[in-house]
Structure 1
Amino acid sequence: MKKYVLSVVVVATLSFAACNSGSKSETATSQTEVKASAQQDQHASLAVQGLCEMCKENIEKAAKSVDGVSMAEWNAEKKELHLHFDAQKTSLDAVSKAIAKVGYDTDKDKADQATYDALPACCKYRG
């Protein structure tokens, strides 16, 4: 009877050890994938002109419309847009052009006058 109990304990211990080693391998694999995707995701900031909450909505919406942008947040006080994007899908230049296309000047691109003129009065930042 002691041999039977000992055998069950040994088999259970080996089974438990095998299950744990499998999960460690899966965890290591998923951590590697997360690191790989994090290496592609870049943070950048871009100076963007604007004044109000409507500007904030328009600027962030334009930035997020660019494929590869995962986060965009514009600070009205600092006139600065912070973004996260996949560098394999887009670039800071592409985001800057998308923002200028909806009427807001960046430190890289200037909105054309007709698009700027079409902005609501509260968004007119040019002197």
Structure 2
Amino acid sequence: MKKLTFVFTLILGVAVSSIANGPSKDKEVKIKTSAVCEMCKERIEKNLTLSKGISEAVLNLEDKVVTVKYNPKKTDEAQIRKVITETGYDADNLVCSQKAHDKLPECCQKTSVSHAH
């Protein structure tokens, strides 16, 4: 009987905790990048989605804006921009890491002429 009471109490505690926390409250941010081509898009999206707290990243190459959905309890907009700059691309008014930019394929660098891969 003690085990049954313990199990019931445990289940009730988990249920109340889940209700109190509610559904995920992801935020969304749009960041202008210096992406040039499809390879840039793949690189930025991959690095962002591998980062803690980011659930989705989609880059529109026409306007070079990446839309990022993230958990504000695990990351913030400054950290998201930092991931982009450390990947080798500008993020809004932040200039990319020169070291990371120099490691990009030539076609992905800012001086490159835009083209499709």
Query: Which bracket does the TM-score occupy, shorter chain normalised?
Result: 0.7 to 0.9
Aligned-residue sequence identity (percent) comes to 32
Which deviations, in whole Å up to 9, do the C-alpha atoms of 1:99-120 show, x marking residues without a partner?
1111011114221222211110
1:12-27 map, 5 Å: none
Shift >4 Å, 4+ stretches:
none
Normalised TM-score (structure 1): 0.67
Q: 62-71 or 110-119, which moves further after superposition?
A: 110-119
1:50 aligns with 2:43: no
Distance 1:105 1:92, change over 3 A: same
1:92 is displaced (CA, Å) by 1.2
In structure 2, runs of 5+ residues without a counterpart are 1-14, 113-117
Letter of the structure 2 residue corresponding to residue 78 of structure 1: D
Root-mean-square deviation over aligned CA pairs:
2.0
In structure 1, runs of 5+ residues without a counterpart are 1-28
Does the residue aligned with 1:100 lie in a helix, a strand or coil? helix
Q: How many residue pairs end up in the alignment?
A: 95
Asked if structure 2 preserves the Cα contact closer than 8 Å seen for 1:66 and 1:94, the reply is: no
Letter of the structure 2 residue corresponding to residue 36 of structure 1: G
Normalised TM-score (structure 2): 0.72
Q: Distance in 1 between matches of 2:49 and 2:93?
A: 18
Bigger radius of gyration, 1 or 2? Answer: 1
Does the residue aligned with 1:70 lie in a helix, a strand or coil? strand
Equivalent residue for 2:66? 81
Letter of the structure 2 residue corresponding to residue 71 of structure 1: E
Larger fraction in helix: 1
